[in-house]
Amino acid sequence: MGFALGKDTRWTFTDHLYTALVGAGFRTFRDNEEIGRGEEIELEIKKSIPGSRSSVVVFSENYASSRWCLDELVMIMERRRTSKHMVLPVFYHVDPSDVRHQTGSFGKALAGHEERFKAGKRGFEEEWMKRRKGWTEALKEAADLAGNVLEAKGYETKFIQDIVEVLEVKLSRTHLSIPGYLVGIDNQVNSISSWLHNGPSDVGIMSIWGMGGIGKTTIAKRVFNLNLGSFDAGSFLSDFAQTFKGSRGVRPLQEQLISEILVGKKRKIRSVDEGIETIRKAMSGKRVLLVLDDVEENDQVDAILGMQNWFCPGSKIIITTRNQQFIKAHRADKIHMVEVDTLPGTLSFKLFCWHAFGEEDQPENYTYLAYRVVARCGGLPLALRILGLYLSGQSVDVWKSTLEMLKTIPESDIQKKLEISYNSLKNDLDKNLFLDIACFFVGEDKDLTVMILNKCGFYPVCGIENLKVRGLLSVDRSNKLRMHQLIQQMGREIIRQKAPNEPWKHSRLWRHEDSLNVLEGNTVRQAISRFFMFLFVSPTTCLPVTYTHSICRGHGQFKV
């Protein structure tokens, strides 16, 4: 961490801040202690800035009187422009507008530098104009960043504590998990990142749209990871549509948003209105990066557009969706749209080979087969990844058999292609575990899921690892089970297709209305006597205990 230090704070405020940062575990650089007496200060500063994750710039009344401070600021801001270097401006008894516009003590200091240039050199004008331009641009750019301002009667101890907390948040954020090998997304990631920084100065909304399995979520996560440090706060709401339509409606999304904006301060929301008011307060004065992953319906878009007034100027909202039409129907002029297309042949082959062989090259006797399998995937990253993982380490005969199966599946039937991986699971325990998770446990805590399934006599720990290896399941940074929506739909369709219009014959019921209809119907006893059935009842549903007692009596295989 590099500091630009004004002489009037070096032995007071800055020293106290330095002590607090070291005490909080930050490896902190400052010029008067880390640089030996005979060393070149400028050279050491140039080394320290690239080696730091962030810089704290303490703007004090006499800051601009130091050419060293101004030159160091130019280097810091240049580093920020070319990397993810985070800069936190601290305004110590200084008005940010004086820094931004070079008025007050900052204007006087620059005038003094000009006089010294005049006195020291002939033909100084060109060099002075170049130097001044660099200083003024760096001052304006730094002042435009969100920073900490010490009010005239503010307490320094509390102020320093706030700075430490900001740095802990910005430098300790856990990045979202994304696949380790990515191809074909750099151009779109760079384009979206450019929009985040150079797009509308007010609240901007972008829609990333494309078919399921195309890589929208991966692109959004990559953009979020790369750009979060440039915002005051951020939140990535996964499975937005599914959670929105759940038994608690929008409240879980509100709770997650509040927790991530306020950095871990969890709060239970009792009503939607309470959530709205809490979010308004949490976002006050903050430039926020918000990603809503998998938005499906009109009312969800209406809710997003209605949120714009809550955000500070410069905040950005990114939506991922498979439905282009309803985005266009909702004030498309206000939403910047980015389409994600399928991968071209060469990139499809690279992605598939990486998952199938662990590298971009492939054994010679598999080359032709690999090209044939890739051709059947239609450039869809999800299908390339799942089939690559399934075929990894398999014999040539298995590859040929898989290719014959793919030939019988229509090009557009993605779920049938994904089902090949499910059918390849080596035992019924893993297959049943996959179906259980697809029906009931996506988005649930992994440890809670393991505990529940252990009570049912299953062996979920090994099974979860087997599903992860196949790419059918993942565990996110919050220890929640995640499954691509197409894979989840594939699992539920396996159950539904055995009796499409007769839910009482399904081995698992995941829709609350189906569960209650079966409980209240006359067919339930027959169904339970022949099928193993999971039933989840909404926490908000009032279900008399006598239902489960009368239904379960004598049917030990029935699980609630």
Query: Is the CB of residue 18 less than 8 Å from the CB of residue 30?
Result: yes
Of 39, 72, 114, 296, the active-site residue reads 72
- Secondary structure class of 513 (helix, strand, coil): helix
Residue type (1 letter), 313: P
Q: In sequence order, which residues have a C-beta less than 8 Å from that of residue 191 and are 6 or more positions away?
A: 338
Q: Which of 128, 122, 3 is nearest to 73 (CA)?
A: 3
Token duo for residue 102:
């070079």
- Longest alpha-carbon distance in the chain: 103
CA dihedral 142, 3, 21, 281 (to 10 degrees): -10
Q: Which of 307, 326, 330, 302 is nearest to 317 (CA)?
A: 307
Query: Is residue 72 among the annotated active site residues?
Result: yes
DSSP class of residue 439? I
Query: Is the CB of residue 219 less than 8 Å from the CB of residue 189?
Result: yes
- Secondary structure class of 237 (helix, strand, coil): strand
Token duo for residue 214:
């195309």
What is the residue whose two structure tokens read 């530098």?
Answer: 113
Distance between CA atoms of residues 293 and 295, nearest Å: 6
Strands laid side by side in the 233-237 sheet? 233-237, 288-293, 316-321, 204-209, 335-339
Which residues participate in catalysis according to the annotation? 72
